[in-house]
Amino acid sequence: MHRDENQHESSPVSPAPDPGFPSIDVTTPTTARIYDWMLHGKDNFEADQRAGRAFLDVAPQLRPIAHYNRAWLARVVAYMTAELGLDQFLDIGSGLPTVQNTHQVAQGINPKARVVYVDNDPVVLTHGRALLADNDRTTVATADISDPDAIINGPDTQRMLDFSRPVGVLLIALVHCIPDEPDPGGLIGRILDAVPSGSAIAYSHIVSTEPRAADDLTRIVLEATHGHWGRVRTPAEALAYIDRPDLEAVAPGFVDIRTWHPAPDAEAATDDPIWEIGGLARKL
């Protein structure tokens, strides 16, 4: 069961274990469930809500950023499907199912499109399996970007995707969750090395050019997640992870996600101290 943000009187209780699903710790916040709360979703717990409110105290623009991010995901997947002709997608760090999911956008354009969602939160697996029970072109796998080989060679990925053909790789709002030590650029490189020419990567990262704002948000997220996060980086740091000679950015490049092929009624970018940079690049 989940608790909405107005329920605080009782202690959270872990759901009874199901032999078909991994156990769920509802007392420790996860980025997937905090993001769900930011989007006014229902698949989060009291610990996630507390953490989310603490984040907004430091960076109130995070809730709008979550919504901008979701809208951008829909635009970039539509572009990858309609303009680049991609029909198979690997969505890493996908988070919990909500509106305008990758498979809904892609299959709305091409019903034959295949999607593999990957996340390290067992709640994502539980809800994803339920949501996709009748969709044989979409699956959910539990894995972590820290082990790219497990993602690429996992049975769900291998069953669903054909790596002799171009793949759309989605690393959306994920890499700021990775610390410096595992070498995010190296991890991304191992994923991109596995996909052929003609593939594309949609990539976004929370960034700031104000050190104090970046440090404050990084500190509060690390405290809430018990150290299971990365950090807010500068735009140059974030983009260095995908600076490869075999990648060519699609116009307008990597920009504030609000300004990437914006909808007609899109909100203009502002001078917020923290924002999300994102874009799309093709593998040559």
CB atoms within 10 A of CB 171: 25
Q: Are strands 200-207 and 114-119 parallel, antiparallel or unpaired?
A: unpaired
23: confidence class by pLDDT, cuts 50, 70, 90: low
Q: What share of the chain is helix, strand, coil (3-state, %, to 5)?
A: 40, 15, 45
- Whether residue 269 is predicted with pLDDT greater than 70 in this model: the reply is yes
- Cα–Cα distance between 62 and 52 in angstroms, integer? 9
Question: Domain 62-283: what homologous superfamily?
Answer: Vaccinia Virus protein VP39 (3.40.50.150)
- Whether residue 7 is predicted with pLDDT greater than 50 in this model: the reply is no
CA 143 to the chain's CA centroid = 13
Residue with the larger pLDDT of the pair 168 and 37: 168
**Predicted model pTM:** 0.86
Tokens of 126: 């539980």
pLDDT at 29: 87
CA 129 to the chain's CA centroid = 18
**Which region among 32-36, 125-129, 170-174 has the lowest average model confidence (pLDDT)?**
125-129
- Cα–Cα distance between 85 and 88 in angstroms, integer? 10
Q: Are strands 275-283 and 247-249 parallel, antiparallel or unpaired?
A: antiparallel
Q: What are phi and psi of 249, to 5 degrees?
A: -70, 140
Q: Over the chain, what is the mean pLDDT?
A: 88
- Whether residue 219 is predicted with pLDDT greater than 60 in this model: the reply is yes
pLDDT at 5: 38
CA distances from 140 to 150, 154, 250, 280 (A): 14, 11, 28, 23
Residue matched to tokens 């190296």 = 186
Tens digit of pLDDT for each residue in 162-203?
A: 999 999 999 999 999 999 999 999 999 999 999 999 999 999
- Cα–Cα distance between 124 and 24 in angstroms, integer? 10
Tens digit of pLDDT for each residue in 48-96?
A: 999 999 989 888 989 999 999 999 999 999 999 999 999 999 999 998 7
Containing H/E element for 15? none
Under the phi-then-psi rule, with left for phi > 0, alpha for psi from -120 to 50, and beta for the rest, what region is 66?
alpha
Domains of the chain, by residue range, sit at: 62-283
Pseudo-torsion of CA 244, 284, 145, 122, nearest 10°? 150
